[in-house]
Amino acid sequence: MTIKDIAKECGCAVGTVSRVLNNQDYVSDKTREKVMEVVNKYNFVLNNNAKALKARGTKTILILVKGTSNILLNNLLEKVQKNMEKLPYTSKVIVLDEYDNEAVEAEKELRETKALGIIFLGGNPERNREVFPRINCPCVLISTKADTEEHENLSSVSTDSYQASLLIARHFAKKGHEKIGVIGGDFSSSMVTKRRFEGFLEGLELSGMTFDAEKSYATAKYSLEGGAKAAEELVKKFPDVTAIFAMSDMQAMGACRKLKDMGFRVPDDISVVGFDGLPIAQYYCPKITTIRQNEEELAVQGLKTLLDAIEKKNGAVHKNIPFEFVEGESVREISTSL
């Protein structure tokens, strides 16, 4: 009995079974229960010594996930691992806090695993200019663009966050909103936050508006809790805000919940737009207006880009995957005289 046999009987991905056996997060209670039922049925025991020996003798790809609560990155991880199942590679997954330095962790893990390549799910290459040159294997950054960095071994596959956020700002302007707040990440640790913010500012400028960051920006993790806390902070320092751009759907849903608890109606009192296009956002009430990223294509092209660099010795490439604007029910039109 192997992990693959367990995965086949459970109808799960090998990566999912591995996370259950290693007591890792990002597995539902129902799935964990199903896997453990099969494990107990065959009295399967994970042989960590054998696993370590095997890892040293196989083709290992290191996957670093930047953010413990980021559902988009978790979805990308599942899709990358699913696409790796029939390939002659194994993966080692490291989940980091979004404020951690992924390059430092990658350098350390690379010494231990001798990985052939690294997939970064989220990250900030601008922050890692001193460390990254010491990482001497092919790498790909998925979800964040890295074309401004001069690293010959670092490719990227991403959504154009700048243009998508510009579109959101123009949408708010079209709906008559002028008093707009933003919930986003920390600029020093998140390049995607910087790109989304810069694109949003450009959209406001094109619409004839300015932005007071001190009053109108709240920093938060890309999570429900982060969005809720930031929404409360934003409303307290900007009480006449009519619209909020949250840089992730999780932040947007957390913000909506907190606004309701504070006595505000979405979108009647305050409109909210998210980012990512998570399926859950379309089942939320109200449905979240958002930017939908193509998760499947990001995962497929990200893995392909890395394998081309490993197997064909291709240099760094940077791909943009098209996004979709999804209009939900969380934005209302107001009079431009407000």
Dihedral pair phi/psi, residue 294, rounded to 5°:
-85, 90
CATH of domain 161-292: 3.40.50.2300
Dihedral pair phi/psi, residue 254, rounded to 5°:
-65, -40
Residues of the chain with CATH 3.40.50.2300: 51-158+294-322, 161-292
The CATH class given to the 51-158+294-322 domain equals alpha beta
Q: Which amino acid is at 227?
A: G
Domain 1-46 belongs in CATH node 1.10.260.40: yes
* Contact (CB, 8 A) for 324 and 291: yes
Strands 154-158 vs 180-184: parallel, antiparallel or unpaired: unpaired
Strands 243-246 vs 180-184: parallel, antiparallel or unpaired: parallel
User: Which of 146, 7, 141 lies closest to 76, judged by CA?
Assistant: 141
Per-residue pLDDT of the chain (338 residues; tens, 9 = 90+): 678 788 888 888 877 888 788 777 677 888 888 888 888 877 676 655 445 444 444 689 999 999 877 889 999 999 999 999 989 999 999 999 888 889 999 999 988 888 999 999 998 877 777 888 889 999 999 998 887 667 889 999 999 999 999 999 999 999 999 999 999 999 887 889 999 999 999 999 999 999 999 999 999 999 999 999 999 999 999 999 999 999 999 999 999 999 999 999 999 999 999 999 999 999 999 999 999 999 999 999 999 999 999 999 999 999 999 999 999 999 999 965 43
Sign, CA torsion 94/99/103/109: negative
Q: What is the DSSP string of 175-190?
A: TT--SEEEEE--TTT-
User: Which of 102, 126, 207 lies closest to 165, judged by CA?
Assistant: 207
Buried b / exposed e over 241-267, threshold 16 CB at 10 Å, is bbbbbbbbbbbbbbbbbbbeeeebebb
The sheet with strand 139-142 has its strands ordered as 90-96, 60-66, 117-121, 139-142, 154-158, 318-320
